[in-house]
């Protein structure tokens, strides 16, 4: 990883496969639980940064009202474990562009993560279906679901 960063080029598809090949945390019922979240990297002070969007944020800095702040929305997929922990295993992150549809990008992202998990041995036919949960930053187009993993 550090060599790739030093060269200034990360093979993103390969990195996704490596992440999918690592041992995955599981819920108490041995099910793989994937969480999808769209969060914002706020950059109101970076006027020359490309493709910033107005991101909805809840009251901050002592304010009780919501705001629109310039930044970039990112869609994250992580594997969760059960119990009293905030640890998770990040599997993918995608910066959403101005023309992107959150639901379409997120669906493609989860599909790609699940296929990588299958290809890299993180999920096998006969395992329990993978559960997904999402917040999508208040988007009505995202919902919790059980990912019906493809059958043989």
**pLDDT score at 92:** 94
Torsion of CA 87, 89, 95, 101, to 10 degrees: -90
Taking only the tens place, the pLDDT of each residue in 53-111 is: 777 777 666 666 777 888 888 899 999 888 777 788 899 999 888 888 888 998 899 99
**pLDDT score at 44:** 77
**Pick the residue with more confidence: 47 or 59?**
47
Beta bridge mates, 147: 130
- 12/57 Cα distance (integer angstroms): 29
For residues 27-45, average pLDDT: 84
Please provide the DSSP assignment of the chain as one string.
Answer: -HHHHHHT---HHHHHHHHHHSPPP--TTS--EEEEEEEEEE-TT-TT-TT-EEEEE---TT--S-EEEEEEEEEEEEEE--SS---EEEEEEEEPPTT--HHHHHHHHHHHHHHHHHHTTSS-TTSPPEEEEE-GGG-TT---EEE-PPP-
For residues 17-33, average pLDDT: 87
Tell me the pTM: 0.75
Q: Residue ranges of the domains in the chain?
A: 2-39+76-147
Residue 138 pLDDT class (50, 70, 90 cuts)? very low
Cβ 123 vs Cβ 117: under 8 Å: yes
Structure tokens at 142: 């995202």
For residues 23-33, average pLDDT: 85
**pLDDT score at 111:** 92
Relative orientation angle of helices 102-119 and 12-21, to the nearest 10 degrees = 60
């Amino acid at each position: 990883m550090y060599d790739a960063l030093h060269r200034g080029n990360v093979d993103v598809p390969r990195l996704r496969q490596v992440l999918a090949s690592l041992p995955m945390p599981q819920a108490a019922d041995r099910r793989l639980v994937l969480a999808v979240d769209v969060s914002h990297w706020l950059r109101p002070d970076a006027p020359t940064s490309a493709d910033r969007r107005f991101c909805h944020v809840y009251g901050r800095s002592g304010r009780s009202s919501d705001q629109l702040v310039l930044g970039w929305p990112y869609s994250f997929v992580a594997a969760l474990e059960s119990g009293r922990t905030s640890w998770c295993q990040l599997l993918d992150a995608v910066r959403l562009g101005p023309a992107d549809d959150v639901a379409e990008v997120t669906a493609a992202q989860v599909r790609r993560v699940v296929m990588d998990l299958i290809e890299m041995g993180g999920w096998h036919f006969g395992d329990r279906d993978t559960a997904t949960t999402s917040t999508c930053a208040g988007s009505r187009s995202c919902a919790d679901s059980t990912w019906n993993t493809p059958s043989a």
